[in-house]
Structure 1
């Protein structure tokens, strides 16, 4: 395997990993947003110092998210920066592979 192909496969793996992290975050944000919109009486952040009525935290139908794990705007921005960098790296690695070698590889859909 050539160095260019290895670099592409590594870049592809990094891009896939950060894309999955971004999709997982988006799914969490979507679920929290839907719960807050549809039934705010059933939502609570755990591990924060502001309390809510006890029935919110004890209800089986409540949705709880760990406040300590909640990403800040800066953390989300950093994740987006990683995603953009990984995307550019995949594109650059693909361009570095000679055309005759690309025919044996599947290009990543970006």
Structure 2
């Protein structure tokens, strides 16, 4: 079986959050194909737990939810394409004192000596 045979487009590159969201629309047969593929190819423990948990839900009466498999990944929804932070808008670096206190940086006060 190859990734092209799966009901989830671009399965091997889906982030975990998107995978959890997208498998909710699969029926038991489609989900079993994903489980078999994952077991053969990657066998990632966390992913297998997510897939098996969803299969248990389906076996206990849950129904697939409506949804489209070609939506943007959950992690990228609502994020701007460009960052508003530029080098001239970034905050000034903070330089904490190396030793001593803020009032007398760089001085040790062991036994009354500077």
TM-score range, shorter chain: under 0.3
Judging by fraction of residues, say which structure has more strand: 1
Structure with greater helix share of residues: 1
Normalised TM-score (structure 2)? 0.26
Larger relative contact order (Cα-Cα within 8 Å, sequence gap ≥ 6): 1
Which structure has the larger Rg over C-alpha atoms? Answer: 2
